[in-house]
Amino acid sequence: MNPEQAAAYRQFFSSLPSLVTAEDLFGILGQLQDELGCIPRAAIRDLAGRAGVSETRLFGAVTSYPDFLLAED
């Protein structure tokens, strides 16, 4: 993840509602991918924490999609 992406991610995450449900996760991941061109590692942690699902599960899901690109922080 380059600095612009990192900044964009921080911006994105801070604009999320404080309560994210599991129902919203797939859509949010998609939005992230569309806006940043990748899904930062931090997003998996942050979203999992906020939606109360495990980081592990989310990682397993995200790696299944050809159109999701995971990026190291």
Q: Report in angstroms how near the CB of residue 19 gets to another protein at its nearest.
A: 15
Q: Of residues 38, 40, 44, 50, which one binds another protein by CB under 8 A?
A: 44
Select 10 or 26, whichever has its Cβ closest to another protein.
Answer: 26
CB neighbours (10 Å) of residue 11? 11
Report how far residue 20's alpha carbon sits from residue 61's, in angstroms, rounded to the nearest whole number. 17
- Checking DSSP bridges between strand 70-71 and strand 39-40, what pairing results, if any? parallel
Q: Which residues make up the interface to another protein (CB under 8 A)?
A: 22-23, 25-27, 29-30, 33, 41, 44, 51, 53-61, 63-68
